[in-house]
Amino acid sequence: MKTLSHRFLFGILFGTVLAALFILSGTHAWAAGWDDVEAAWAAKRRGQNAEAIKLVTRGINSGKLKGIRLARAYVTLGRAYQAMNRLREAGTEYTRAIKLVDKTIQLGRLSGKDLAYAYNTRGLSHQKMGRLEKAIADYNIALKILPGFHKFLLNRANAYSLLGRYGLAIVDYSVALEAQPGSFNLYYSRAAAQVWQGNYEQAIADYEQALKINPKDSFGWGVFIGRGNAYFMKGDYGQAIADYERSLTLNPRYKAVKKRIAKARKAMKHSAQPGYESDSDLWASVKLERSSQK
């Protein structure tokens, strides 16, 4: 009887251990798929888009990503393709994300944070495909579910900025900064909107705050271009040239900044001449660059 009892207990213990191992292995495998996506985000922030594509593709092919997480993986893949100017492939991934989110929402199984992320993910896909009004509509729904959430506010602010609604963008960036006062991205993005709104002193202050938060950010060269634009527009051509040259040192591949250096030097040389207007000349080139990035 004792032997049977021992065997019974051993059977229960053995079964429990097997079940635990199965659960843990399944959880690890599922997490590994999402870990690949998170690693892809980090690679993309470093500018390593080919590595990001490799990582997120592995995560997708693992078969462990479902629902909104799979949709977010498609968006990540699309953004990496877009950064490499592989626009057709990027569009394919954004379309996959939109279709998957549509299907997931229609099933009616999402609520709270998960539902908010679904709308945000679809909004980001629309935004990357240039459908900015649709993107804002989705961000609005996401923010109704999670009011004041800084990630959704950042995305909506970016969409507003791309539409030229800089005042609304600045409001969203500012509200998001109340929740994330140490965010490089928020200060950088608000600074860019401040420049377009004509608030050059505020823009310079935001760029400087971004540099204080993360002086070694991989996109630091963009900060110096942006601050250079603000200095240029307020007529401080010497500071503008210094920032443009610093940007070129950090990112020699961005050749367009050489044109801005030339324009700033020309403006400095002729600024004493009556009636000389340099800002429209620079702004025309900046607007052309911006329209090509939408």
**pLDDT at residue 18 in the model:** 34
**pLDDT at residue 146 in the model:** 97
**pLDDT at residue 16 in the model:** 37
pTM of the predicted model, to two decimals? 0.81
Of 157, 69, 180, which is closest to residue 121 (Cα–Cα)?
69
**pLDDT at residue 165 in the model:** 98
**pLDDT at residue 129 in the model:** 96
Domains annotated on the chain, with CATH:
27-147 (1.25.40.10), 218-294 (1.25.40)
**pLDDT at residue 286 in the model:** 54
**pLDDT at residue 164 in the model:** 97
Q: Kindly list the averaged pLDDT for each block of 10 residues, start to end, along the chain of length 294.
A: 42 37 37 88 92 96 94 96 95 96 94 96 96 98 97 97 98 98 96 97 98 87 96 96 95 92 92 62 50 34
**pLDDT at residue 218 in the model:** 76
Contact yes or no for 43/60 (Cβ under 8 A): no
